[in-house]
């Protein structure tokens, strides 16, 4: 049965967490519904095409494919030692400074966090849905304004046999 109501920005929640046994977690507050996930492919692979004199004769699964994501929120704080901020989650500062990367515990590995996008569905006649990106690295931007804004632009990476993005 088709859902009777379309999904809107009020249905989504963005959460960022690290890999400690009791995860350090930050739920994004005061965002305008700008979550964007781009570059999803079947099986998480890039296309690999083969050509004979410019004519494609075969299309295969190529390398693992990264997925890009972005979102904006109203800027509340840049960093804090106890309150979990969006900046701290992606920069491994403040309350996240003792965090554990989702990529692994080697200090030479890139800092990565899990970003979860939960979508309320039961109010619309369906099921709740969750989009999980386990290994995310992101760039943080701040902009002064009414209100001031924080913007995150990042990539979700596949690792071993785990896709960059999973759905439930």
Residue 167 lies in a domain: no
The helix/strand/coil state of 114 is: strand
pLDDT band at 88 (very low <50, low <70, confident <90, very high): very high
Q: What is the pLDDT of residues 21-75, one digit of tens each?
A: 999 999 999 998 899 999 999 999 999 999 999 999 999 999 999 999 999 999 9
pLDDT given at position 123: 77
Which residue would you say has higher pLDDT here, 100 or 3?
100
CA atoms within 13 A on the CB side of 62: 10
Residue 71 lies in a domain: yes
Residue 1 lies in a domain: no
pLDDT given at position 126: 76
DSSP assigned state of 85: -
Q: How many domains does the chain have?
A: 1
CA angle 108, 89, 34 (to 5 degrees): 125
Name the token pair of 49.
Answer: 């095409």
Q: In which domain, by residue range, is 129 found?
A: 12-50+57-161
- Rounded average pLDDT over 66-93: 95
* The pLDDT of residue 5 is above 90: no
pLDDT given at position 168: 85
Residue 136 lies in a domain: yes
Residue 166 lies in a domain: no
Residue 153 lies in a domain: yes
pLDDT band at 124 (very low <50, low <70, confident <90, very high): confident
Residue 84 lies in a domain: yes
Nearest to 61 by CA among 82, 80, 41, 81: 41
């Amino acid at each position: 049965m088709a859902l009777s109501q379309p999904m809107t920005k009020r249905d989504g929640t963005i959460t960022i967490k690290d890999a400690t046994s009791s995860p350090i977690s930050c739920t994004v507050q005061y965002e305008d519904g700008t979550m964007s996930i781009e570059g999803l492919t079947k099986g998480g692979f890039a296309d690999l095409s083969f050509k004979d004199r410019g004519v494609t004769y075969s299309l295969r699964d190529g390398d693992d494919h990264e997925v890009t994501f972005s979102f904006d929120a109203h800027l509340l704080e840049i960093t804090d030692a106890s309150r979990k901020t969006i900046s701290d989650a992606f920069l491994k500062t403040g309350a996240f400074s003792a965090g554990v990367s989702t990529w692994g515990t080697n200090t030479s590995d890139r800092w990565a966090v899990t970003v979860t996008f939960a979508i309320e569905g039961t109010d619309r006649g369906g099921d709740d849905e969750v989009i999980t990106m386990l290994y995310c690295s992101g760039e943080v931007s701040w902009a002064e304004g009414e209100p001031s804004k924080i913007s995150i632009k990042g990539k979700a990476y596949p690792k071993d046999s785990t896709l960059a993005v999973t759905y439930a």
